Chains A and B, each alone.
Chain A
Amino acid sequence: MAAEVGRLSKNLLRMKFMQRSLDPETKKQLEEEEKKIISDEHWFLDLPELKEKESFIIEERSFLPCEDFLYGRMSFKGFNPEIEKLMVQMNSKTTEIKTEEEDPDFGKMDVDVTDEEMALRYESLVNSIRKKFAKKRDRAAIKETEDENCNVKGRKVKKAFLKPQD
């Protein structure tokens, strides 16, 4: 009893206005005690750690990915031409694989202009566009090179100022 006289209780020391007068050692002690109380009050479930497993099985409730079904509307012997057109279009997915094997040209577009014609046309187009964007001075240079290639005319002599003779 005598030892405790002159000592302040813990709860009093924890109060805000007492904080300043505390020496670091008792402060540390108080903090530790507070932490202990908090950690004791925390609950946790005592369970084994769950292992996340990658699943390689996909569940599917539909027959669609299992079987390649035909289109559900059908028409035979020209009863409904609209539906017959649709049938060909919608069933092309399932028959595509076959036609690809049989026909080497399958997948190629029907073209009006062949690749060679297209290339020729673009060649001249490239030239004319280049001329359009070139400056006047460069345009002359382009012409010159063309002339050289085609051997049409000789070089034009560049006009220069001629000093008149006295």
Chain B
Amino acid sequence: MSSVQDAVDQVVLPGDVLLLPVQAADAPLSLSAAASDTKRMRVVCGPGLVRHGEDLQVTKCGLLRHREPAVYWVESHQKRYVPVKGDHVIGIVTMKSGDIFRLDVAGSDQASLSFLAFEGATKKNRPNVKVGDLVYGQFIVANKDMEPELACIDGSGKANGMGVIGLDGFMFKVSLGLVRKLLTPQNDIIQELMNVFPMELVIGMNGRIWIKAKTIQQTLIVANILEACEYLTAAQRKQVFAKFSD
């Protein structure tokens, strides 16, 4: 049993209970302020943490992270993807059945994608999606009891880059931790990658990365570098990138 603040940026293990600090009521106009003299802050516990009475319990091992005002989550190494609503992922079309496509999204179950969930698609104007295509989409339904559902449009009906990804290119899998590292703003890997080759990449939250560069050789070089980034230190990575940057 330790306080959450002490455990931030420390290793936590499943079963650890983290105590939340009790804060004095800071809203004098609140109706409940009269009833309870002490009031807790509204805490958001992200992946790797669950509620345990009035405290937090750890369910994954990793580093505890914190963001203002009171958001806590565990940064862990993981390869198994569990669909979460709102995630952008790369799926592989495995079946076309009537009105929906079935997509392999590297989760426990295949996701469904309606043919109407593409930009500009109507009943008459069907999107051209074939079995084996890669689709970049967003989860609109994802819970543990139901089949996950993808969409390639946002709330306003815009594609915003979602949809079928181009024909060539190369897709490979990395760990979920590396994907999150690649997607954090101003991260070193992407900053260094910018200066290597002209290329395009799509990063799915389910651990899939798709790359396309001018030649197959360049594509494979980038893919190998990214796969190796998982185990390279910052200094080693800089060395590798220096070899290829022009």
**Chain A contact residues, CB within 8 Å of chain B:** 54-80, 83, 86, 90-91, 94-95
B79 within 8 A of A: no
Interface contact B84-A61, CB-CB below 8 Å = yes
In the assembly, what is the distance between CA of A79 and CA of B67, in Å?
35
Task: Given A61-B47, A62-B46, A72-B203, decide whether A67 and B84 contact each other with a Cβ distance below 8 A.
Answer: no
Number of cross-chain contacts by CB at 8 Å = 121
Q: Mark B166-185, 1 if CB is under 8 A from A, else 0.
A: 00000000000000100111
In angstroms, Cα B73 to Cα A61, docked, is 10
Residues of B within 8 A of A76 (CB): 193-194, 196-200
**Which A residues are in CB contact (< 8 Å) with B190?**
70, 74
For the complex, would chain A's binding face be called helix, strand, loop or mixed by DSSP majority?
loop
Contact partners of A77 in chain B: CB under 8 A: 194, 197-199
Decide if A72 touches B88 in the complex (CB within 8 Å).
yes
Q: Tell me if B123 is interfacial: C-beta within 8 Å of chain A.
A: no
Tell yes or no: B114 within 8 A of A by CB: no
Given A69-B183, A77-B194, CB of A62 within 8 Å of CB of B84: yes
Closest Cβ of chain A to B84, distance in Å, is 4
B71 near A65 with CB under 8 A, answer yes
Q: Is B201 an interface residue (CB 8 A)?
A: yes
B87 contacts chain A at the CB level, 8 A cutoff? yes
Select A90's contact among B50, B84, B161, B213, beta carbons within 8 Å.
B161
B204 cross-chain contacts in A, Cβ below 8 A: 72
Partner of B45, one of A57, A63, A90: A57
Say how far B195's CB is from chain A's closest CB, in angstroms.
Answer: 8
Contact status B46-A57, CB under 8 Å: no
Report whether A67 and B180 are in contact in the complex, using a CB–CB cutoff of 8 Å. Answer: yes
CB-based contact A56/B73 at 8 Å? no
Q: How far is the CA of A64 from the CA of B139 in the complex (A)?
A: 12
Q: Indicate with 1 or 0, residue by residue over B30-46, a CB within 8 angstroms of chain A CB atoms.
A: 00100000011111111
Q: What 5 pairs across the A-B complex have the smallest Cβ distances? A: A77-B198, A79-B198, A69-B183, A56-B40, A62-B84
Minimal Cβ-Cβ distance residue in B for A82: B161
A58 touches B45 (CB 8 A): yes
